[in-house]
Amino acid sequence: MKRVFALLFLCFLSSPALAAKVVPVWTIVPEESHLTFEAVQMGAPFEGEFKNFTGLIRFSSTNLPGSSAEITIPIDGVEANNPDRNKYIRMKDWFDAASFPNAKFVTTSIEPGLESGAYVAKGNLTIRDVTLPVTLPFTLAITSTDSGGSVAKMEGETTINRLDFGVGQGDWKDTKTVENPVKVRVSLTAREVAAAP
Amino acid sequence: MFWCNTVSRFGAVHKFFHWVIAVLVIVLLCVGIYMAEAELAVPQRIQIFSLHKSLGITVLALAVLRILWRMANIRPAHMATHAAWERMLATCIHFLLYAALLMMPLTGWIMSSAKGYPVRVFDLFNLPNIVGQSESIAKLANTMHEYAAYTLIVMIGLHVAGALKHHIIDRDDTLRRMIPFGRVRDSEV
């Protein structure tokens, strides 16, 4: 009987469910992480940033199927480097922060990229009330700290079309005023917490 | 029609500059007042501001060329009917008008750059930012642009009044010599 239990226990240990549960969790270091965007208004590019975003990241380079990221981006944390822009970007015709206080990015898969340290995250991006699949290629470098933990530095960039998400309604749909493609850049620093149960 | 000025009248080039710039300036003043007074929705605001800036920069370019042309040409002489005080007043007003042709677009450009907005010229290209983003510079440039506009309106009024006075009351060639194809009674040199 004891042998049966031992065998069952061994099976349980090696089950994929448990294997997935040992994918390390990483916490984002807010002071060293940035979510920025670049858009073009009247022919002139301008940059903005979404501050105060939070996320739950599970990542292991040896267990990509078990890796995931779920990022929540409060619209109120946007900084568009101009008082008028800051006012309008939160309003109904743009991000409508009152109705849709957060944007979200939830990965559906993280696959290896072409080179070592390169990956491709595929996921669903929700802005306002629109959810669309987005691909985010990124590079990742994990280093060990003196205190014995691991620190990951991630850099990724993708381009989304603001009109796909309904960002810029009515007269703002005119792409001569604000162009449709918007570059989104992610730069994250995260610390490994522990193998979470 | 001669291209260049003579001692008794203006040449075609000078007349071209005068009337084209005059029309543009009047349009700009009207659009400017509309921009300041009308409660426009922001996307329309952006388009009308862009038109105003495009026309303004056109005036700046024409004004620079015009000043260069004026420096390279002789100026028609004051007429016998021009009294000493009229000559002085005309010289002052003309100088101030030239100054306004440069001041208005420059303060506008500074204000735009200081507010962080690009100066896009007829959807073709953007001018570089003449200053960096600064709320204090923007406010100063805004005040200068606004008050220079009011001064310009007064000066245009005096300029037009003077031209009409000479034409209707004095019945001399002052206005006629600036009109395209205007025939001047004095003998031409």
pLDDT 10s digits, B116-128:
899 999 989 999 9
In this complex, do A171 and B43 lie within 8 Å of one another by their Cβ atoms?
A: yes
ipTM score above 0.85: no
- Which residues in chain A are contacts of B42 at CB distance < 8 A? 88, 171-172
Model pLDDT, residue A89: 96
From chain B, the residues in CB contact with A88 under 8 A are: 42
Chain B nearest-CA distance from A34, in A, is: 23
Point out which residues pair with A156 in neighbouring strands.
A138, A186
Q: What is the pLDDT of residue B183?
A: 77
CA nearest neighbour of B128 among B136, B120, B137, B138: B120
Q: Over 70: is that where the pLDDT of B113 sits?
A: yes
* A88 CB within 8 Å of a chain B CB: yes
What is the percent of chain A where pLDDT is above 90? 81
> Which residue out of B44, B47, B142 would a mutagenesis test of the A interface target, given it has the greatest number of A Cβ atoms within 10 Å?
B47
In which band, very low, low, confident or very high, does the pLDDT at A9 lie, cut at 50, 70 and 90? confident
Above 70 in pLDDT, residue A177? yes
Residues B21-69: pLDDT tens digits?
A: 999 999 999 999 999 888 888 888 899 999 999 999 999 999 999 999 9
- A82 min Cα distance to partner chain B (Å): 7
Using a 10 angstrom Cβ sphere, with 0-12 exposed, 13-18 middle and 19 or more buried, the burial of residue B70 is middle
Q: Do B46 and A177 touch (CB under 8 A)?
A: yes
Contact yes or no for A82 and B116 at CB 8 A? yes
What is the pLDDT at residue B189? 41
Is residue B57 within 8 A of residue B118, CB to CB? The reply is no
Does residue A21 register a pLDDT over 70? no
Residue type, A1: M
Q: Is the pLDDT of residue A14 over 70?
A: no
What average pLDDT score do residues A40-57 get? Answer: 94
Of the candidates B41, B43, B126, the beta carbon closest to that of A43 is on B126
Average pLDDT of the segment spanning B13-18: 95
Q: Kindly report, residue by residue over A28-46, the tens digit of the pLDDT.
A: 999 999 999 999 999 999 9
Lowest mean pLDDT among A32-41, A81-90, A162-171, A176-185: A81-90
Instruction: Report the C-alpha gap between B99 and B63 in whole angstroms.
Output: 10
The beta-carbon neighbor of A172 closest among B43, B50, B115 is B43
**pLDDT tens digit string along B69-81?**
999 999 999 888 8
Question: Which sign does the torsion angle of CA B132, B138, B140, B143 carry?
Answer: positive
**For residues B183 and A127, what is the distance between their CA atoms, to the nearest angstrom?**
69
Contacts of B172 (CB under 8 A, 6+ apart): B79, B81, B166
Predicted pLDDT at B155 = 96
CB-based contacts of B122, cutoff 8 Å, min separation 6:
B54
Whether B167 has a pLDDT exceeding 50, the answer reads yes
Question: How far does the CA of residue B123 sit from the closest CA of chain A (Å)?
Answer: 8
| pLDDT exceeds cutoff 80 at A19 | no
Instruction: Name the phi and psi angles at A46, rounded to 5.
Output: -140, 155
Q: B159 or A19: which carries more pLDDT confidence?
A: B159
Q: What is the mean pLDDT of residues B160-183?
A: 91
Q: Is the Cβ pair B123, A43 closer than 8 Å?
A: yes
Average pLDDT over residues A154-169: 97
DSSP string covering chain A: -HHHHHHHHHHHHTSHHHHHHTSEEEEE-GGG-EEEEEEEETTEEEEEEE-S-EEEEE--TT-GGG-EEEEEEEGGGEE-SSHHHHHHHTSTTTT-TTT--EEEEEEEEEEE-SSTTEEEEEEEEEETTEEEEEEEEEEEEEEE-TTS-EEEEEEEEEEEEGGGGT-S-GGGG-TTTB-SEEEEEEEEEEEEEEE--
Amino acid, single-letter form, for residue B16:
F
Q: How confident is the model at residue B156 (pLDDT cuts 50, 70, 90)?
A: very high
**pLDDT over threshold 70, residue A12:** no
Q: Among B105-114, B150-159, B175-184, which is the least confidently predicted range? A: B175-184
d(CA B115, CA B139): 9
Determine the Cα–Cα distance for residues A195 and A197; give it in Å rounded to an integer. 7
- pTM for the full predicted model: 0.81
Chain B environment of A82 (Cβ under 8 Å): 115-117, 133
Chain B environment of A174 (Cβ under 8 Å): 43
Contacts of B120 in chain A (CB under 8 A): 42-44
Mean pLDDT of chain A: 91
Task: Kindly list the residues from chain A whose CB atom is less than 8 angstroms away from the CB atom of residue B123.
Answer: 43, 176
Contact A82 B46 (CB under 8 A): no
More confident residue, B7 or A34: A34
Q: From the list A43, A81, A82, which residue is nearest B120 (CB)? A: A43
**Residue A4 pLDDT more than 60?**
yes
What stretch of H or E contains B182?
Answer: none
d(CA A138, nearest CA chain B) in Å: 32
